[in-house]
A and B are shown apart, each in its own frame.
Chain A
Amino acid sequence: MFTKKWRWISIGVGFLFLVTAPLFLTGYWIRFLTNVFMFGVMAEGFNILAGFCGIPSFGNVVFFGLGAYTTCIFMVQLHQPFIAGVVAGAILSTLFAILLGFPILRLKGHYFAIGTLGLSEATKELVTNLEKITKGSEGISLPVIAGNVNVIYAVFYFTMFGIMISIILFTYWMSKTRLGYAFQAIRSDEEAALVTGINTAWYKTIAWSVCAFFTGLVGGVYAYWTTFINPEGVFSVGITVKMLIMTILGGSGTILGPIIGAFIFEFLSELAWSSFMNVHAAFLGLLFILIVIFMPNGFMQLITQRFSLSSLIAQIKENRI
């Protein structure tokens, strides 16, 4: 059933549904979907970095936080309009990535993962301490936008949706050009890639910066959407883990995988919340474990290949020791 024709049809239907959703869904579900789009963008960014390029970053939330804080500072301290703040946030995140890319991208594997984790924690601490600019632990509060609640929500909905579509298109374009091939070469074997003449440092920095750009962008939009940010909230490791899990759940290295992963994960969280209030957190932990054991290649694999019990078992055997 999951042939190419059906895939395009389902994408089309999905797209149509999402575009018209604000007309018939209530505030909570619009917020829910906006949230899914936001995580979709971040997961997709992570996917470009880790799924395509093989860079195991564990600190992407730092770009989210930087984007959010820059937007708030622009709007509150410098009295700039929202668009300026968001764009500034995205640019700052990208510059941050490029600058810090030089020392950090030289690390490999697990060291890089810990290095990036340390980066997000250190930035969180820095932001908390620079009170004059960031108001530290008090957090920054943006003015609540006056006007019809549903219209405002729809605006944020389509903004996030737009960003999500752009990153999907970017990933699609990238996967078909030299950039994408360079990334995949680096993922497969960095030294071999170096030998064939690919400037790995340069390409890794590009991947890292693109991820930073998009993540910073949604960080900025998030700040205005929620109207309140604080260091703990926008630099939280939990956000990075969610990005990671959504990418894996959907299928890393694929184009639509992370988006689908974002949808599935948020729906599952939703179910867990409504059904098991007391044990939902433990249930979520269990879910992570099950996903990794039974679906390491993600949901996309279910769609693109014929799903059968024997292939599942074969796959588990392959990863197992």
Chain B
Amino acid sequence: MKKLFSILIAFTIAILLVGTVFAQDVVRIGCSTSLTGKLAYEGKASKDGNDFYVAMVNRKGGLNIGGKKYKIDVKYYDDESDVNTTTKLVEKLITEDKIDFIYGPYGSGPGFAASAITEKYKKIIMAMSSSRELYERGFKYLFTCVTPAELYFKSVIYCLSQQNPRPKTLALLFKNDLFNKSAADAIPGYCKENGIEIVYNEKFAPGASDFSTELSVIKAKNPDIIVFLSQAEQFILGAKQMKDLKVNPKAIVTGVAVAEPHLVKALGKDAEYLSGPTLWDPTMKYRDDLFGDSQDYSKEFKKIFGYEPSYHAATNSSSCQALGIAMEKAGSLDVERVRNAMVTLDANTFYGRIRFDEKGRITGRTAPLGQILNGKFTIVYPPEIAVAKTVWPKPAWQ
């Protein structure tokens, strides 16, 4: 009995503490992200990206909104990589914690759910989702700095199609989830544009743990390019099985997982010559006043967090930055004014030029192609920002 009572009292106190009053002159931002569960890696990278931006801004005294200095405070919740939980937590952030803006969860599925809530309450959300479907709902308070998924392979296919000897065939195997499917569905179109024939186009279940059959079938068709689209975990397995089965196309392309540092660490020498698109790279030359250029960003990030940032962190930081710039431009925290500022935004940041189209997606961005050379992911296309030349054809597995 006594135990029950003390639990009840502790619980009541907990409820009361949930609605604490925040200090003055603070922009309250909320973020529900995946710190545990299947998306834990990407979720943590996203959080670090957000935290880095907030740290840099607060270091300068905060955002300058309408003449006053506002520090940023972010409240995080862990949604355990579960979409149902994301919905609940975003609602909690808005109604209980009374936040002003939302930094979106990582991933297209969670983003879908979260944005449905924020639109209801008319709160601006900086989504971290690239799939087109999210933005087809006519939402007004939804923005993203993530390159649209259907553009991820535009440069990739073009660049590879220009190589010598010209590729003629391509095999496509991708993970059947919202993001990978959005990116993969655009590939047949790009192949047609560039005169490449697709000889294999299949999707595998999200929980797949073996690709030997699919890769054997692909090998028998002898394509020039293989596109294996999934997150890092399954691509590691896929690459290993490609080596096992001696699958040697002229290029092995994957999605943005290729730019993640742990891929090279996991595959070692076998990671060499794998290629794929990326959203950001430390070698990019754009500058701004807050971060400097991408090299400065990378160095400072490593100082604070102890590891080299991947594009996840950079994309998150730039999302937060875009919102911050809009708040300063609007001169207020009022959601309509900030929204107008976002719609008309045209800013130059370390991430590049940031402008949004009428659906809230960033425009004018392409996804440069990179290849792992000498154990490091290096940009090989477009020529303006390339650091090395594409190695084509990919040497056979050693």
Binding site for B on A (CB under 8 A): 1, 26-29, 31-32, 35, 125, 128-129, 136-139, 141, 144, 149, 226-228, 230, 232-233, 236, 238-239, 267, 271, 273-275, 277-278, 280-281, 302, 307
Q: How far is the CA of A281 from the CA of B18 in the complex (A)?
A: 19
CB of A160 to closest CB in B, whole Å: 14
The answer to whether A26 touches B176, judged by C-beta atoms less than 8 angstroms apart, is: no
Residue contact A226 to B95, C-beta cutoff 8 Å? no
B112 touches A139 (CB 8 A): yes
Using Cβ atoms and an 8 Å threshold, which residues of chain B touch A277?
35, 76-78
Task: Report the separation of the CA atoms of residues A275 and B18 in the bound assembly, to the nearest whole angstrom.
Answer: 10
A24 CB, nearest partner CB in chain B, Å: 13
A194 to chain B, nearest CB (A): 39
Contact B36 A281 (CB under 8 A): yes
For A271, the closest partner residue in chain B by CB is B14
Q: Are A238 and B82 in contact (CB under 8 A)?
A: yes
- Whether, in the assembled complex, B270 has its beta carbon less than 8 Å from a beta carbon of chain A, the answer is no
Is the CB–CB distance between B14 and A31 below 8 Å? no
A215 to B65: give the CA distance in the assembly, Å. Answer: 50
Query: Contacting A275 at CB < 8 Å: which of B14, B116, B137, B177?
Result: B14
Contact between A128 and B205 (Cβ–Cβ < 8 Å)?
yes
Interface residues in B112-149 (C-beta closer than 8 Å to A) = 112-113, 116, 119-121, 131, 133, 137
On whether A28 and B83 interact (CB within 8 A), knowing A128-B176, A137-B178, A228-B112, the answer reads no
Contact of A125 among B113, B116, B120, B205 (CB under 8 A): B205
Contact of A27 among B35, B77, B91, B205 (CB under 8 A): B91
Is B181 on the interface with A (CB-CB < 8 A)? Answer: yes
CB of B209 within 8 Å of the partner chain = no
Interface residues of B (CB under 8 A from A): 1, 4, 11, 14, 17-18, 35-37, 76-78, 80, 82-84, 87-89, 91-92, 94-96, 109, 112-113, 116, 119-121, 131, 133, 137, 176-178, 181-182, 205-206
Q: Which B residues are in CB contact (< 8 Å) with A227?
A: 116
Q: Contact at A233–B109, with CB atoms within 8 Å?
A: yes
User: Closest CB of chain B to A233's CB: distance in Å?
Assistant: 4
Query: How far apart are the CA atoms of A281 and B43 in the complex, in Å?
Result: 15
Residues of B within 8 A of A149 (CB): 120-121
Q: How far is the CA of A281 from the CA of B40 in the complex (A)?
A: 12
Contacts of B83 in A (CB 8 A): 228, 230, 232-233
Interchain CB contact (< 8 A) of B88 among A31, A138, A236, A307: A31
What chain A residues lie within 8 Å of B11 (beta carbons)?
267, 271
Q: How far is the CA of A271 from the CA of B13 in the complex (A)?
A: 11
- Which residues of A sit under 8 angstroms from B1, Cβ to Cβ? 1, 307
Residues of B within 8 A of A281 (CB): 36-37, 78, 80
In the complex, chain B residues whose CB is within 8 Å of the CB of A307: 1
Residue contact A226 to B78, C-beta cutoff 8 Å: no
Provide the residues of chain A in CB contact with B82, threshold 8 Å.
233, 236, 238
B232 to chain A minimum Cβ distance, whole angstroms, is: 18
Contact B206 A137 (CB under 8 A): yes
Given contacts A128-B176, A230-B109, 9 further A-B contacts (CB under 8 A): A28-B95, A28-B96, A128-B206, A137-B178, A138-B131, A226-B113, A230-B83, A233-B84, A274-B17
Closest to B180 in A: A137
Asked whether, in the complex, the Cβ of B181 is within 8 Å of the Cβ of A27, the reply is no
B102 to chain A, nearest CB (A): 14
What is the chain B residue whose CB lies nearest that of A282?
B36
Q: Which residues of B contact A29 (CB under 8 A)?
A: 96
Can you list 20 pairs linking A and B with CB atoms under 8 Å apart?
A: A27-B95, A28-B91, A28-B95, A31-B91, A32-B88, A125-B205, A137-B176, A137-B178, A138-B181, A144-B116, A144-B119, A226-B116, A228-B113, A233-B109, A273-B89, A274-B14, A277-B35, A277-B78, A281-B78, A307-B1
Minimal beta-carbon separation of B210 from chain A (angstroms): 15
Q: Assess the B96–A26 pair: CB atoms within 8 A.
A: yes
Q: Report B-chain residues with C-beta under 8 Å of the C-beta of A273.
A: 77-78, 89
Chain B residue, CB-CB nearest to A267: B11
B35 touches A136 (CB 8 A): no
Chain A residues within 8 Å of B36, by CB: 281
- A-B pairs with the 6 shortest C-beta distances? A27-B95, A233-B83, A28-B95, A281-B36, A28-B96, A137-B176
- Please indicate the chain A residues that have their CB under 8 angstroms from the CB of B88 in the complex: 31-32, 35
* Least CB separation from A275: chain B residue: B14
Name the CB-closest residue of A to B132: A138
Q: Is the CB of B35 within 8 A of A26?
A: no
Once the chains bind, are A141 and B112 in contact (CB under 8 Å)? yes
Shortest C-beta distance, B112 to chain A (Å), equals: 5
What residue of chain B has the Cβ atom nearest to residue A281's Cβ? B36
CB-based nearest A residue for B136: A141
CB distance from B149 to the nearest CB of A (A): 11
Distance A250 CA – B18 CA, assembled complex (angstroms) = 26
For the complex, give the distance between the alpha carbons of A277 and B83 in Å.
17
Separation of A125 and B177 alpha carbons in the complex (Å): 12
Complex contact A230–B18 (CB within 8 A):
no
How far, in whole Å, are A1 and B181 apart by their CA atoms in the complex? Answer: 59
User: Are A138 and B133 interface neighbours, CB within 8 A?
Assistant: yes
* Minimal beta-carbon separation of B382 from chain A (angstroms): 30
Complex interface: chain B residues within 8 A of A267 (CB): 11
B182 partner residues in chain A, CB cutoff 8 A: 138
Whether the pair A139, B78 counts as a contact (CB closer than 8 A) is no
- Kindly provide the distance from the CB of A69 to the nearest chain B CB, expressed in whole angstroms: 15
Pick from A1, A232, A302: contact of B206, CB below 8 A. A232
Is there contact, CB below 8 Å, between B178 and A139?
yes
Bound CA–CA A297/B18 (angstroms)? 32
* Contacting pair B176 A136 (CB below 8 A): yes
**Which A residues lie within 8 Å of B96 (CB)?**
26, 28-29
CA distance A227 to B84 in the complex (A): 11
Residue pair A274, B112 in contact (C-beta under 8 Å): no
Q: Which residues of A contact B121 (CB under 8 A)?
A: 149
Residues from chain A with a CB closer than 8 A to the CB of B92 are 28
| Neighbouring A residues of B205 by C-beta, 8 Å | 125, 128
Tell me the complex Cα distance, A32–B96, Å.
Answer: 12
The docked-state distance in angstroms from the alpha carbon of A227 to that of B90 is: 14
